Chains A and B, each alone.
Chain A
Amino acid sequence: METKYISQSGIEQWFNAIITSGKRVYAPVNSRGQIDFKLVKNLNEVSSEYIQTTQSIKASVYPKAEVLFSYEKVNGKVNLTDFDPESVPETVMWKVHPCDAAGFKPLSAIFNWDGADKLHNAHLAKTSLVSFSCASADESCFCTSVNGSPGNTAGSDIQLTMLPDGGAIAEILTSRGGELAALLPSVFEADKGVKKEKYLVDLPARFSLEEVNTKLSKAFNSTVWKEQSERCIGCGACAFVCPTCACFDIQEDVHGSKGRRIRCWDACGFAMFTLHTSGHNPREHQSQRWRQRILHKFSYMPERLGVVGCTGCGRCSRACPVDMNILEHITSIAQQ
C-alpha cells in the first residue's frame, strides 16, 4: 500500500498508457441518458456527472451469459471443448465506485465457498479495478450501513480521490495496482499529505447489520414479507443490477451438430426459479421470493459465507419499476 499524488494531466497520460498496453478498459459512458460501463479508448468518453451506473461491474467477472464449454456431435460421439482461461482478456474497470469493488468479495464467496469456480476465477485473475472514491451520494446510497464507506478500498487495486485541482490522491493498494501504476510511473508523484476524508461525501449509517441480522433470525414467518412485496411484479431487475446477486440458470444453445452450454444470470424473484417439473413450487408467492432475497443476502450469506450479500449501492431501489426501496425495507425490519 502506497499513497501518491497524480495531477489532472497525469491521470490522462496514465489512462492512455493503460490503453496503449493493450488492456481492455471499461468505464462509465453516458449513452442516451443511461450511464453504464462500456469499452472506452479515450478519457473524454468517460462520464463525469453521475452517482451510480445502472448496471454494476459484476459482468466483468461473471458475464451475463457465459459459455461453460462447447461441444460437437460427430458420428454419434461427442467432442467437448473446455473453457479456456487464456481466452479471457486483461481488463481494467475504470472509475468504479467503492460499493462496486466491494461486490467482488461476496460474489467470489458464492462462487468459491465449496469448490473453486474456474470461470469466475479466470475473470478475477485478469480484472483490475481502478476505483474513484465518492464525493457525492443520493438518497438510495447506504454503503456505510453495510460495512462500506465512500472511501472504502476493499476490492480496489488503485483508488483515486479527486482533488479540487483536478488531480487526485492515488492509493496503490495491491500488487496488481502496482503493475498498473508501473505502466507510467513518472506521473505518480510524492504524496502531498492531503487527507482523503475531507473529499468524501458524509453518509451516516441508517441501520445496524447486527440488529438486522438478529431481527431476521426470527422473521421467517413475519407478515413483513407480504406487506413489503405486495407491489412486487417479479421482474428481477433488482437481481440483474445487483453487484452481488449470483444466482444463475444453465441453458443450451444449439446450432445443428454444434452446441454450447451457457451460464446465464437468473433471479430468485422469478416465479419459475424454484418450479419443479411436477408443477410443485416451494416459492409460489412473490412474498416468499422477496423473503428469500432478503434472507439470503442479510442472513444466510453472513452465516454461511461470512459476508453480507449487499454493498449498499442502492441500484435495486433505483431500478425497481414499482418503487420498492431496499433501504426503507431493511430499516423498517431493523426497527421492528
Chain B
Amino acid sequence: MSEKNTYLPYLMTIEKITKEAPGVKTFRLKFQDEAEAATFEFQAGQFGEYSAFGEGESTFCIASSPTRNGYIECTFRDTGRVTSGLSSLEEGSTMGFRGPYGNVFPMDEWKGKNLLFIAGGIALPPMRCLIWNALDLRENFRDITIVYGARTVKDLVYKSELKEWEERPDVRMVTTVDPGGETPDWKGEVGFVPTVVEKVAPSAENTIAIVCGPPVMIKFTFPVLEKLGFRDDQIYTTLENRMKCGVGKCGRCNVGKLYVCKDGPVFSKEELNLIPAEEY
C-alpha cells in the first residue's frame, strides 16, 4: 500500500518571524526536506494546516505569493491553543505544515482586467498572496487598486509592504482605519472599509473585486460594490470556516452542500448566492 498518509505533515523550519501587529506574526517557513521543497507547488487562494507539535493544527491561508520560490509564509493572530503554541516558537524551530488545499483565484481569467482588492484587518494575508502574485505578473493586469483597513493604526498588518505598495506608481493604495483608530500623524483615510470604497468609487468596468475581511465588513461592502455597478460574477471572496482535516472528510466546513476546504475557500459572489448565507 503506497498511499500517502494525508495527515502526516511536512516538517518546516521557521526561518524568519515578523511581528505585524499586537498578537499577529508572520512566519517564513522552509521545507526541511529538499525533495519536498522541490516538488511543492501551490496557487494563490490555497490554504494549509499549520501545526505546533504538542498543541495541534490550525488552518490559515498561504500568505506568500507562489511567484516567490523556496519558502511559504503564514500570518496568524495568537488567539487559541494552537496559535499561542505557534506564537511561542522561535526562529529556527520546527513546525508542521500540510497542504496546499482548496481551490484557487482564477487569475488566468483575470488577464487584461483591473483588479480591486478590498481587505479588512487580519484578512489581508490571503489577499497579500494574490496581490504579490499580481504585482509579480504586473503586465497581465491593468489598474490595480488596494483598499485596506483595520480598526486602529497599530492593527494594520504588513506595514512595510503597505508603504511599498503606496510608493509604487502602478498601484493605487488606499489605507484606512476605523473612526477613532487614527493616530495624530496618520495620513491615510479615516472610516470603515465599505464607506471608503464608496468614496474611492473604482469603476466596475472590466474590473474584478476581491473582498476579504470579517463577515460584517463583507456584508456592508457587497451592496457598495453593487451600487458601483459590479455584477456578482465580478466579485470574489474567501470563506474561512472552521476546519480540521482540510481535505473534505472531517465534515466541519460544510456550507450547504459545499465544503469550504474543497469547493472553496475562493468563491465568486455568484457562487455564494447558491449556498445558505447563515452557514458561513
What is the CA–CA distance of A115 and B56 in the complex, to the nearest angstrom?
22
Q: Which residue of chain A lies nearest to B5 when distances are taken between CB atoms in the complex? A: A118
A78 touches B276 (CB 8 A): no
Measured CB to CB, the nearest residue on chain B to A220 is: B276
* Nearest chain A residue, comparing its CB with the CB of B214: A278
25 contacts between A and B (CB under 8 A): A69-B5, A69-B7, A73-B54, A76-B93, A82-B8, A114-B247, A118-B3, A118-B4, A118-B5, A121-B1, A220-B276, A250-B56, A250-B57, A261-B57, A266-B251, A275-B242, A276-B242, A278-B214, A280-B215, A282-B255, A282-B279, A296-B251, A299-B257, A300-B257, A303-B257
Residues from chain B with a CB closer than 8 A to the CB of A300 are 254, 256-257
Interface residues of A in 107-136 (CB under 8 A from B): 110-111, 113-119, 121-122, 125
Q: B257 near A247 (CB under 8 angstroms)?
A: no
Q: Is the Cβ of A304 less than 8 Å from the Cβ of B80?
A: no
Cβ proximity bits B86-103 to A, threshold 8 Å, 1 near / 0 not:
000000111010000000
| CB atoms of A288 and B278 under 8 A apart | yes
Asked if A323 CB lies within 8 Å of chain B CBs, one says: no
**Which residue on B lies nearest to A284, using beta carbons?**
B278
Contacts of B280 in A (CB 8 A): 282
Question: Hey, which chain A residues are within 8 Å of B5, CB to CB?
Answer: 68-69, 82-83, 118-119
Q: Which 6 A-B pairs have the closest CB atoms?
A: A247-B251, A68-B7, A118-B3, A300-B257, A252-B56, A78-B94
> What is the bound-complex CA distance between A266 and B250, given in angstroms?
9
B7 pairs with A254, CB closer than 8 A = no
Other-chain residue from B1, B11, B93, B252 in contact with A125 (beta carbon distance below 8 A): B1
Question: Is A283 part of the binding interface, using a Cβ–Cβ cutoff of 8 Å?
Answer: yes
Given contacts A247-B252, A250-B244, A259-B53, contact A68 B8 (CB under 8 A): yes
B181 at interface by CB-CB < 8 Å: no
Residue in chain B with minimal CB distance to A115 = B247
Contact of B251 among A76, A116, A268 (CB under 8 A): A268
Q: A110 CA to B5 CA in the complex, in Å?
A: 16
- Residues of chain A contacted by B256 (CB below 8 angstroms): 220, 300
Residues of chain B within 8 A of A114, CB atoms compared: 247-248, 262
Once bound together, how far apart are the Cα atoms of A83 and B1, in whole Å?
A: 12
Binding site for B on A (CB under 8 A): 68-69, 71, 73, 76-78, 80, 82-83, 85, 110-111, 113-119, 121-122, 125, 220, 246-252, 254, 259, 261, 263, 266, 268, 273-278, 280, 282-283, 288, 292, 295-296, 299-300, 303-304
B163, chain A: closest CB distance, angstroms: 28
Q: Report the bound CA distance from A280 to B245 in whole Å.
A: 20
Interface of A is mostly: mixed
- Say yes or no for B219: interface residue by CB 8 A criterion: no
1/0 per position for B252-280, CB-CB distance to A under 8 A? 10111100001000000000000010111
Closest to A264 in B: B244
Residues of A within 8 A of B241 (CB): 274, 276, 282
Contact for A121 among B3, B54, B251, B254, CB less than 8 A:
B3
> CB-defined interface of B205-244 with A at 8 Å, one 1/0 digit per residue?
0000000001100000000000000000000000011101
Contact residues in B for A73 (Cβ distance below 8 Å): 53-54, 94
B251-A248 in contact (CB<8A): yes
Kindly report which residue of chain B lies nearest to residue A275, judged by CB atoms. Answer: B242
| Chain B residue contacts of A247, Cβ below 8 A | 250-252
Binding site secondary structure of chain B? loop
> A248-B250, A303-B257 are contacts. A254–B54 as well, Cβ < 8 Å?
yes
What residues of B have a CB within 8 angstroms of the CB of A280 in the complex?
Answer: 215
- Complex contact B244–A249 (CB within 8 A): yes
Determine the chain B residues whose CB is within 8 A of the CB of A296 once the complex forms: 251, 254
The answer to whether A252 and B251 touch across the interface, beta carbons within 8 angstroms, is: no
State which residues 42-74 of B face A: CB under 8 Å. Answer: 51, 53-57
Q: Please indicate the chain B residues that have their CB under 8 angstroms from the CB of A259 in the complex.
A: 53-54
**A-side contacts of B251, CB under 8 Å:** 110, 246-248, 266, 268, 296
Q: Which residues of A contact B279 (CB under 8 A)?
A: 282-283, 288
8 further A-B contacts with Cβ under 8 Å, apart from A83-B5, A115-B247, A252-B55, are A73-B54, A78-B94, A80-B9, A118-B4, A249-B244, A296-B254, A300-B257, A304-B257
The answer to whether B257 touches A274 (Cβ under 8 A) is no
Decide: A78 near B53, CB < 8 A? Known: A115-B6, A303-B257. yes
A248/B249 in contact, CB under 8 A: yes
Whole-angstrom distance between the Cβ of B7 and the nearest chain A Cβ: 4
How far apart are the CA atoms of A196 and B72 in the complex, in Å?
A: 62
The reply on B203 being an interface residue by CB < 8 A is no
A247 to B244, alpha carbons, bound, how many Å? 10
Docked pose: A118 CA to B242 CA in angstroms: 23
**Docked complex Cα distance between A122 and B3 (Å):** 10
How many angstroms between the C-alpha atoms of A280 and B254 in the bound complex? 15
Knowing A121-B1, A275-B242, A296-B254, say if A111 contacts B8 (CB, 8 Å).
Answer: no
Closest to A78 in B: B94
Closest residue of B by beta carbon distance from A299: B257
Instruction: Among A77, A118, A275, A283, point to the contact of B1 (Cβ < 8 A).
Output: A118
* B79 at the binding interface (Cβ < 8 Å): yes
B55 touches A80 (CB 8 A): no
State how many angstroms separate the Cβ of B96 from the closest Cβ of chain A.
8
